[in-house]
Chains A and B, each alone.
Chain A
Amino acid sequence: MARPIPAWLAPTSLEEALELRARYGEEATVVAGGTFVGILINQGLLQPAALLTLRQIAELAYLRVEDASASGKPLLRIGAMTTHRALERSPLVQRGWPVLASTFALVASPRVRNQATVGGVLADADYASDPPALLHALGASVVARSPQGQRLISVEELIVGHYETSLRPDELLTEIQVPGGIEGAVYRKFRSRSSEDRPCVAVAAVRREGRLRVTVGAVAERPQYFPEICALAEGQAGIDAELAREIGERYAAAIEPLSDARGSAHYRRRVIAVEVRRALEDLHQQIIATGGGSQRHV
Chain B
Amino acid sequence: MAAMEIHFTLNGQPVAVQAEPDEMLLEVLRRELGLRSVRETCGLGICGACTALLNGQPISTCILLAPLAEGCEITTVEGLGGHHPVQRAFEEVQAFQCGYCTPGMILTIKALLEEQPAPDEETIRRALGGNLCRCGCYLKIVQAAQRAAALLAEERRRQPGPGAAPVS
Interface residues, chain A, CB within 8 Å of chain B? 5-8, 10, 31, 34-35, 37-39, 41-43, 47-48, 51, 53, 55, 85, 108-112, 114-115, 195-196
Contacts and interface: CB of A to CB of B under 8 A. Distances in A.
A31 B127 CA distance: 26
B3 A5 contact: yes
B44 A42 contact: yes
A31 B42 CA distance: 21
A112 B60 contact: yes
Contacts of B14: none
Given A7-B1, A34-B63, A42-B24, A109 B45 contact: yes
B74 to A, nearest CB: 13
Contact of B65 (A5, A38, A43): A38
B64 A115 contact: yes
Contacts of A109: 45-46, 48, 60, 129-131
Tell me whether chain A's interface is mostly helix, strand or loop, or mixed. mixed
Given A5-B20, A48-B22, A51-B67, 10 more contacts: A5-B2, A5-B22, A8-B67, A31-B65, A34-B63, A38-B64, A38-B65, A51-B21, A110-B57, A115-B54
A48 B67 CA distance: 15
A112 B131 CA distance: 11
Contact of A112 (B1, B2, B130): B130
A53 B129 contact: no
Contacts of A112: 45, 60, 130
Interface in B41-74: 43-46, 48, 51, 54, 57-60, 62-65, 67-68, 70
B45 A39 contact: yes
B85 to A, nearest CB: 20
A35 B50 CA distance: 14
Interface of B: 1-4, 20-22, 24, 43-46, 48, 51, 54, 57-60, 62-65, 67-68, 70, 108, 111, 127, 129-132
A99 B46 CA distance: 24
A34 B43 contact: no
Given A6-B1, A8-B4, A34-B65, A111 B130 contact: yes
7 contacts: A5-B21, A6-B21, A34-B65, A51-B22, A53-B67, A85-B57, A111-B108
Q: Which 6 residue pairs of A and B lie closest in terms of their CB atoms, listed nearest first? A: A109-B130, A38-B63, A8-B21, A42-B43, A114-B57, A7-B1
A34 B64 contact: yes
A261 to B, nearest CB: 13
Given A7-B21, A10-B67, A31-B68, A111 B58 contact: yes
B68 A55 contact: yes
Contacts of A31: 65, 68
Nearest to A55: B68
Given A110-B58, A112-B60, A51 B65 contact: yes
A196 B131 CA distance: 10
A6 B48 contact: no
Contacts of B21: 5-8, 51
B63 A39 contact: yes
A199 to B, nearest CB: 15
A164 to B, nearest CB: 21
A85 B127 CA distance: 13
A39 B62 CA distance: 8
Contacts of A110: 57-58, 108, 111, 127, 130
Given A8-B4, A38-B62, A51-B65, A111 B51 contact: yes
A55 B4 CA distance: 17
B128 to A, nearest CB: 9
B68 A53 contact: yes
Nearest to A42: B43
B15 to A, nearest CB: 18
A190 to B, nearest CB: 17
Nearest to B3: A5
Contacts of A196: 46, 129-130, 132
A149 B60 CA distance: 36
Nearest to A51: B21
Contacts of B132: 196
